[in-house]
Amino acid sequence: MQAYNTQTGIVCPLDRSNVDTDQIIPKQFLKSIKRTGFGVNLFDEWRYLDEGYPGQDNSKRPVNPDFVLNKPQYQGATILLARKNFGCGSSREHAPWALSEYGFRTVIAPSFADIFYNNCFKNGMLPIVLSEEIIDKLFTEVFVNEGYELTTDLERQVVITPDGTEYAFDVDEFRKHCLLNGLDDIGLTLQQSDAIKAYEQKMQQKTPWVFNELV
Amino acid sequence: MAGQTLYDKLWDAHLVSQRDDGSSLIYIDRHLLHEVTSPQAFEGLRLANREPWRLSANVATPDHNVPTVKKERSEGVAGIKDEVSRLQVATLDENCTAFNITEFTINDDRQGIVHVVGPEQGLVLPGMTVVCGDSHTATHGALGCLAHGIGTSEVEHVLATQCLVQSKMKNMLIKVDGKLGTGVTPKDVVLAIIAKIGTAGGTGHAIEFAGDVFSDMSMEGRMTVCNMAIEAGARVGMVAVDKTTIEYVKGRPYAPTGEAWEQAVAYWNTLHTDDDAVFDTVIEMDGSEIAPQVSWGTSPEMVVDVTQAVPTPDMAQDEVQQQAWARAYEYMGLSAGQPITEIAVDRVFIGSCTNSRIEDLRSAASVIKGRTVANNVKEAIVVAGSGQVKKQAEEEGLDKIFTQAGFEWREPGCSMCLAMNADKLQPKEHCASTSNRNFEGRQGNGGRTHLVSPAMAAAAALAGHFVDVREF
Ligand code: SF4
């Protein structure tokens, strides 16, 4: 997994609340058996004017000029600024895959849906929760300042604006550690194999039916 | 020390280790797999040269992509017309064969929507931790399980380690007392709850549903409610174990028997919240005030009583909600103040992991019996949740009631719930749907979903527009 430390990048404002994962990556693209190839279909229904389907040549599709992702000033953005309850709905990890392949490493919102929030960390992305007031302020800043950039510093847990203002955010220690070091958490868990085996032995006595073979 | 909630008990029973950084390693008893969120996880295992930690924990079945039309279905995987869907189902078969994982394949009579199959087969038992790469895994909490959806990286993590790294959630109690009126179903209860607390109301919480309404409710009804905990923002929804739970589990194919059964029941009977336990958040509602619900917008919280109208902008809590409503009016092609009963329906879908169990089909059939689908309804389909449900319904003659009324009787799968297979809405079509999500495009690009109970969907099919099933 790609490590995340500090990032400076253009901010793309997505001014909608309750953006669900069906919107982030519509279900027809979930038919893929790969982990890649989702970036071009990020926000497909908002981004293009026609209906998308897997395997199509996206460069030939009519784009929706009104959608933020298509506006020239937000090209190359790496930070997505969003509204509350971002990433609600289905558990599809294709959502963070699509965002990250498109180039977003950071999503900033007043709140996230739990599964999406968790899925971000597994993919080298940092979801940052800031208060509604700060988010409102950031939206205003982005709208009036073309090329508006933010810096995020995971080690220090702050978002830094161009004028040097710092906004602190919370992140759980374990996730921070994995993200800073780009660690694969399966490897980390397997270091605790003995504890897992000991647990299984104990439970085989207590709840043997859980361990029945499926015949 | 204060007593424990059901969630606290399940958490403690599955704690493998507590790490210094505050996170915990939680053991997973049952892992359900389907074709959409598993291929990348199996690929990850292969790349890292890893094996499943405990094979017997895993069960798979294809559901999201499988065709529901008899002819296409009869040819098995090879008969799936959509190439990409076919590859995904075939990949699940290949992975399960290669790794030796039990799978109910496409035409096995135990195949079905993974959340219908698990409890039905006794693969999901009270007190288990249950995960699946699907957010509606919350369904299994109805059996007194700690069950939640996970992403694909976690599917791989569970396959490889039988554990998940978790932080404990907060406890939320949703207590609904009183008696439900006639014609008011578990689906209406959960929609009313979501309307009240909002789609982010349960975020960060494990919800326990308690009170008279849930103790009186059947297991299948409890599954309907827990299924939609995720639409209220909570990954976990659950109901304590009681007599209803134990009676439901008894005799299921994979349920324990003999001495193990006695031992299990003794343990399961401890799976309820202690009287003196404290919840972080408590919501109370009166069940007798709940009316049949219909969603009018593009979020499961945009729900009103069938007797009401599409809300007007002045009823919104704030500007953000006003904007969301404005977008929803437009997308749904509705105007503020329009009575719900004036919304005509183009298609009707009875199915999905929320409402495709036998009681759901019985409830819809009892409304339909001897009547016919309205002329303006282009298509009305019933998709049983599993091969077992389908078989049972046919034995009871429900399929005849549906087909005589003009419904199509389909093969089991997710179907029009998310339109990954051929069953989908055309742009602008209104659908009375018993599924759980009404997001933009969920049932097909531009499609307009209205979430309702099976009885309400049946009534809408007959009337051609929404009607109050209590007066029908
Ligand atoms: S029925 Fe619908 S909600 Fe349930 S698992 Fe299938 S697609 Fe998901």
DSSP per position, B232-285: GT-SEEE----HHHHHHHTT-TTS--HHHHHHHHHHHTT-S--TT---SEEEEE
- Cβ–Cβ under 8 Å, residues A104 and A37: no
Identify all chain A residues contacting B30, using CB atoms and an 8 Å cutoff.
210
Q: Which residue of B has its CA nearest to A119?
A: B151
Question: Which regions in chain A score pLDDT beneath 50?
Answer: none
Q: Are B404 and B317 in contact (CB under 8 A)?
A: no
Interchain CB distance below 8 Å, A33 and B162: no
Whole-number pLDDT of residue B23 = 87
Give contacts of B121 with chain A, Cβ < 8 Å: none
pLDDT (0 to 100) of residue B386: 98
Rounded Cα gap, residues B148 and B161, in angstroms: 17
Distance B423 CA to ligand 1 centre (A): 13
Alpha-carbon gap: B36 to the closest alpha carbon of chain A (Å): 6
- Give the count of beta carbons closer than 10 Å to the beta carbon of residue B313: 14
**Beta-strand runs (E) in B312-463:** 347-350, 379-383, 408-410, 430-433, 448-451
Amino acid letter, A78: T
What is the C-alpha separation between B163 and B328, in angstroms, rounded? Answer: 40
CA distance linking residue B196 with residue B183, whole number of Å: 20
- Cα dihedral B95→B100→B103→B106 (10° resolution): 50
Tell me which of B134, B190, B227 to substitute to probe ligand 1's pocket, judged by most ligand atoms within 8 Å of the beta carbon: B134
Nearest CA to ligand 1 atom 6: B414
Does B253 contact A at CB distance below 8 Å?
no
* Burial readout B228-246 (b: 16 or more C-beta within 10 A, e: otherwise): bbbbbbbbbbbbbbbebbb
Sheet with B30-33, edge to edge strand ranges:
B102-103, B58-60, B30-33, B129-132, B146-149
Smallest CA-to-CA distance from A135 within A84, A204, A61, A197 is with: A84
Residues 6+ apart with CB under 8 A from A187: none
Report pLDDT for B48: 86
Of the candidates A31, A189, A212, the beta carbon closest to that of B157 is on A189
CA–CA separation, B352 and B386 (whole Å): 10
Of A113, A129, A126, which Cα lies nearest the Cα of A19?
A113
**Least Cα separation, residue B470 to chain A (angstroms):** 31
Q: How far is CA A194 from the centre of its chain?
A: 33
Alpha helices in B431-471 (DSSP H): 454-463
What residues of B are in contact with residue A20 (Cβ under 8 Å)?
Answer: 437, 439
Q: For the beta carbon of residue B330, count every other beta carbon within 10 angstroms.
A: 11
Contact check, Cβ <8 Å, B151/A115: yes
- The pair of structure tokens assigned to A134 is 């700060």
On the 0-12 / 13-18 / 19+ scale of CB atoms within 10 A, B257 is exposed
> Alpha helices of A61-214 — where are they, by DSSP H?
94-102, 114-121, 132-144, 173-181, 185-190, 193-206
Q: Which two tokens stand for residue B445?
A: 């690009």
Q: Do B87 and A31 touch (CB under 8 A)?
A: yes
B270 Cβ under 8 Å from any chain A Cβ = no
DSSP-H helix ranges across chain A? 21-24, 44-47, 94-102, 114-121, 132-144, 173-181, 185-190, 193-206
The shortest C-alpha distance from B368 to chain A (Å) reads: 32
Dist. CA A213–CA B377, nearest whole Å: 48
- Which pLDDT score, from 0 to 100, does residue B420 have? 77
CA distances from B254 to A208, B72, B257 (A): 13, 31, 9
State residue B25 phi and psi, 5-degree precision: -100, 120
- Please work out, in degrees rounded to the nearest 5, the angle formed at the alpha carbon of residue B100 by the alpha carbons of B95 and B101: 75
| Contacting residues for B184 by C-beta, under 8 A, at least 6 apart | B290, B291, B292, B470
Answer positive or negative: Cα dihedral of B234, B238, B239, B245.
positive
Dihedral angle over CA of A169, A126, A187, B234, nearest 10: 80
Q: Can you give the pLDDT at residue A185? A: 84
Length in residues, chain A: 215
- CA of residue B367 to ligand 1 center, whole Å: 25
C-alpha distance from residue A64 to each of A47, A49, A151 (Å): 5, 5, 29
Cβ proximity of B135 and A89 under 8 Å: yes
- The span from the CA of B80 to the CA of B40, in Å, is 21
**Residue B359 and residue B391 in contact, taking contact as beta carbons nearer than 8 Å:** no
Q: Which amino acid is at B218?
A: S
Per residue in A15-32, pLDDT (tens digit) is 999 999 999 999 889 888
Where chain B has pLDDT below 50, the residues are none
As for ligand 1, residues whose beta carbon falls within 6 Å of it are B 63-64, 113, 115, 134, 136, 352-353, 414, 417-418, 435-436
**What is the reported pLDDT for A187?**
87
The candidate with the shortest Cα–Cα distance to B373, out of B465, B464, B452, B453, is B464
Q: Work out the burial of residue B71: count CB atoms within 10 Å of its CB; fewer than 13 is exposed, 13-18 middle, 19 or more buried.
A: exposed
Tell me the CA–centroid distance for residue B41 and ligand 1, in Å: 20
Please identify which residue in the block is written with the tokens 């996970």: B150
Instruction: Round to whole Å and give the CA distance between A166 and B439.
Output: 36
Give the sign of the dihedral formed by CA B446, CA B452, CA B458, CA B463. negative
Q: Strands B163-166 and B24-27: what pairing?
A: antiparallel
Residue of A nearest to B205 (CA): A114
In a 3-state reduction of DSSP, which class is residue B331? helix
Going A4 to A8 to A13 to A17, the CA torsion angle's sign is positive
Q: What is the distance between the alpha carbons of residues B9 and B127, in angstroms, rounded to a whole number?
A: 9
| Cβ density class B176-207: b for 16+ within 10 Å, e for less | beeebeebbbbbbbbbbbbbebbbbbbbbbbb
- If one residue of B223, B355, B383, B414 were mutated to test the ligand 1 pocket, choosing by the most ligand atoms within 8 A of its CB, it would be B414
Distance from CA of A207 to the nearest CA of B (A): 7
Axis crossing angle, helix B398-405 with helix B358-368, rounded to the nearest 10: 50
* Chain B residues 174-203 with a CB less than 8 Å from chain A: 199-200, 203
